[in-house]
Structure formats: C-alpha cells, structure tokens
Amino acid sequence: MRTMGWIIPVAALAAGLLAAASAAQPSAVRGARGEAPAEPVIVELFTAQGCTGCPEANARVEAVADEPGVIALTYAVDYWDYLGWPDTFARPEFAQRQRDYRRPLHLRDVSTPQVVIDGRRQVVGGQADALQAAIDEEAARRVFPPEIEFRDTGDSVGVGSGRSPDGGAEVVAVFYTPGSQTVEIASGDNRGRVVRHVNVVRSVRVLGDWGGRSVLYPLPLADAGQAVAVLVQAKADRRILNGAVLPQR
C-alpha cells in the first residue's frame, strides 16, 4: 500500500507489484513482530455484546490484531439483541455481511462468535491455535493480488490490474475505530461484564466494481477518530483478494 498522486500506469504497476504488495499493510502493525507477509491477512470477527461466548473470541482477535500484516476488523451483529441487551455497535448490514459468507463457506447457518479469514475460511469461536494457524497459512499464500494505492489527499484509492475472479469483484471501504474499546453490559446474559472490542467497524461502503483493470475510486472521508480499510473482494465466493489501510495523519 502506498499513497499516491494518481494511479500508476499499468506497465509500471506490473513491474512493481511484488515490492508494492509488501507495503499493503496497516502502518500501525508493521515491524512489531518481524517482517509482514507480502499480502495482508484480513481477519473479520462477527460478535455480539449479548453473546456469552463472544468476549473470549474478542480477546483472541485482539491478541492477533497487532501482528505484522494482519488487518483485524470487528463487526457487531444485532440478532442477539432479543436477549435483553441492544448491542451498542451492531448494525443490520453487519449481520448481512456475515450471512453473505454462509454459502461460500458451506455453512447451514451463521453463528457467533465467528472469525472469517481472508473470506476463505472460518474459525468458529476464534480458538487461539486454530486462528493463528489460519493466519499463518493465509500469510504464506502467494496470489499476486491487485495493488491498492491511496491518493496523497486521501480522497481516492486506486486498484491496479490483475486477474479478476469469476463473477467479478467489488471494492469495499470499511470504516472503523482503531484500537480497543470497552462496554459495560447492564442487562442480558452478559450483565455486569465489561466487554472489550478491537477495531470496531462503524460502516461499510461499496466503492464500485473491479473487473481486472486499473480503476481509481472516490473515497469518502472517515469521521474523526476513524480509520478506513479498503478491501477488494470477489462477489461470488467472497474471497478477499487484497486489503490496505489508509495511513492516518
């Protein structure tokens, strides 16, 4: 990932793909525990404040969020609200994003807590060993994804050329609050507990389609205190081809 004045020509993009891909990491996590992999690993946690098993999964995802090359995102779902505690971060579209993974992951239904890695596999409950193994295996994958670059002004993002998946792909901007937050639960099954979350997603915007050619997309400005991750995601099987975080200024 790099900031840019404009998207680079296709020929230059192809020549610099390997070097540029190594920079497609959230700047806050590089160098913490060694060199980051060539492509970042996207870890998406689907959780709920009213779910008794979710705080442990939250903690496990928080533990890997600072690994080099990991982009961790927490989506709060709303279908646990009926137990007596309306989740303070939940939005219906986050639950829909989780449901969109059901068919590609060959699941009968969705459940929480659930961790989806690169849109390719899941770890139910975020078991520590299984989660780390999945991250390591995805980090070792070499798929030569389309490069993601941010314009210097931060109001546009370019996605370079590459092989488009069957059915095409879409470019998604995920706005989130970086770092950890705590919420004291006053009712429901987790009443009296203080629940921690990391990188809580606030909104998701589809910027447009990507079909294999270099494209520049307008990027909405993040609200104060928020960061934005841009994902290139297959429409059909929901694989995440690449991701990058806009450096905060």
Using one digit for the tens of pLDDT, what is the confidence trace for 147-200? 999 999 999 999 999 999 999 999 999 999 999 999 999 999 999 999 999 999
Low-confidence ranges of the chain (pLDDT < 70): 1-38, 126, 249
Residue 127 has what pLDDT? 85
Interior CA angle at 94 toward 81 and 193, to 5°?
Answer: 40
How far is 7 from 86, CA to CA, in rounded Å?
A: 43
Residue 193 has what pLDDT? 96
DSSP 249: -
What type of residue is 112? Answer: T
Residue 248 has what pLDDT? 76
Measured N-to-C along each axis, helices 54-64 and 128-139 cross at an angle, to the nearest 10 degrees, of 40
Residue 39 has what pLDDT? 83
Residue 17 has what pLDDT? 35
The model's pTM:
0.85
Please give the structure tokens belonging to residue 203. 């909104």
Residue 137 has what pLDDT? 94
Residue 38 has what pLDDT? 60
The CATH number that domain 2-245 falls under is: 3.40.30.10
DSSP 33: S
Please give the structure tokens belonging to residue 170. 């879409």
Residue 35 has what pLDDT? 45
Write the CB contacts of 136 (distance below 8 Å, at least 6 apart in sequence).
none
Phi, psi of 204 (to 5 degrees): -130, 130
Residue 157 has what pLDDT? 97
